[in-house]
Amino acid sequence: MTMMNLADIRKQIAEATEALAKADTELKWELAASAADVAGMVDPTPTSDLIGAGLAVRKGDWFGAGMSVASMVPYVGDALAKPAKAVRAAKKINALRETLAKMTAKLAELKKAEKQAEAAEAAAKEAKIAKEAGEAAAEKSAKQTADGQKGAAKAGKDKDCEDCGSGGGKQAGNANDGGTKGANSTVPHGFANMEEFAQFGSNMRTGLGRAGYENAEPLLQGSAVTGKSFKTGQPFDVGRLSDFDVALADPALLARAQDLGIGLRSGGTRTGPLSARDLRALGLRDLSSQMGQQAGREVNFMIYNNPATAAQRAPSVILPGKR
């Protein structure tokens, strides 16, 4: 069935339900008339034939009513009218049953389409909410970066003034170095500068689109954001090579994971870290490998229903770039 909007589907369901009820009522009247006709074959009185004629008139079947009246005539009615009525009624009853079966099947298809349309509408709303949340988070991240750069520039300028006043004779290049360090303080751990971080985000989004998940919103989480391991408290890249944890926020991707049998957590709002088997099933194994090679460290994925849920569970930074 061609995908229709929810309003059209519900209108067709109402029409199909009404038509089905009418057809069912017509079948019941036809069965009652047939029962009267059968009784008339064994009833020596014209009572059953009169009932049959009345039922035919009730249905607007004037030909059937005439045959019921003819059935009252002794011998002639039994020999001609009643057999003809029986054949006619059987054909009509069979036709009504076929019609009911087709209507019932159509109604079932419409109800199935209604559920699909409701799911699609809900997914569209979730995607809109996720997009708005992502845009807001990206705007906030950009503002924080700009504020950090301004603060770093001011700190460098103040340092120059202190050196001048003390006769230290600091070079401008050293002040610029200080400013660069301040700007980098807004860049997540594991990236040398904002350009490297931006390239990582752009490649991640491109890879998600190629895998068929162009609506997924990637967010960096874990020690790359906080600077230390959540489990051990150990600083990032101290005594070990830390990994990158990336949350993929997309209700459609989460539903796909559930369909593939990947377990959900937190009331069905997320998965755990995806295993190699999970990544292969979702078509994300190559992307994980490519991003790991670019970063020079392991890149782990976890799926959430939307960016807000991901950000509520752990400090997050939306990866830069466009879908």
Q: Does 249 map to a domain?
A: yes
Residue 322 resides in a domain:
yes
Last residue of a domain, one of 84, 101, 122: 122
Residue 60 placed within a domain: yes
Residue 201 lies in a domain: yes
pLDDT of residue 184: 37
In a domain, 169, yes or no: no
Instruction: Give the chain's domain count.
Output: 2
* pLDDT score at 88: 61
DSSP 205-241: HHHHHHTT-TT-EEEEETHHHHSB-TTT-PBTTSSS-
Name the token pair of 206.
Answer: 């491109």
Digit-by-digit pLDDT tens for the chain (323 residues) are 455 687 888 888 898 898 888 878 877 766 765 565 555 554 444 555 566 556 666 667 665 556 555 555 554 445 444 565 556 667 766 887 888 888 899 888 888 888 888 888 888 787 778 777 767 776 776 676 666 556 555 554 444 444 333 333 333 333 333 333 333 348 999 999 999 999 999 999 999 999 999 999 999 999 999 999 888 889 999 989 999 999 999 999 999 999 999 999 999 999 999 999 999 999 999 999 999 999 999 999 999 999 999 999 999 999 998 76
pLDDT computed for residue 79 by the predictor: 47
Whether residue 118 is found in the same domain as residue 194 = no
Q: Looking at residue 62, what is its pLDDT?
A: 66
Answer yes or no: do 19 and 96 share one domain.
Answer: yes
206/86 same-domain check: no
The answer to whether residues 322 and 228 belong to one domain is yes
State the virtual CA torsion across 15, 21, 22, 25 in degrees, nearest 10: 180
Q: Which domain holds residue 319?
A: 188-323
Question: Considering the domain boundaries, does residue 136 fall inside one?
Answer: no
The Cβ-side half-sphere exposure at 106, using a 13 Å CA radius, reads: 17
Final residue belonging to a domain, choices 69, 87, 122: 122
Is residue 193 domain-shared with residue 315, that is, in the same domain?
A: yes
In a domain, 109, yes or no: yes
Same domain, 321 and 204: yes
Q: Which of 86, 106, 122 is the last residue of a domain?
A: 122
Distance between CA atoms of residues 268 and 83, nearest Å: 65
Task: Please indicate, yes or no, whether residues 279 and 199 belong to a single structural domain of this protein.
Answer: yes
Q: Indicate whether 23 belongs to any domain.
A: yes
Q: What does the pLDDT read at residue 25?
A: 81
pTM greater than 0.75 (yes/no): no
Strand 244-249 relative to strand 299-304, pairing:
parallel
Provide the pLDDT for residue 161: 42
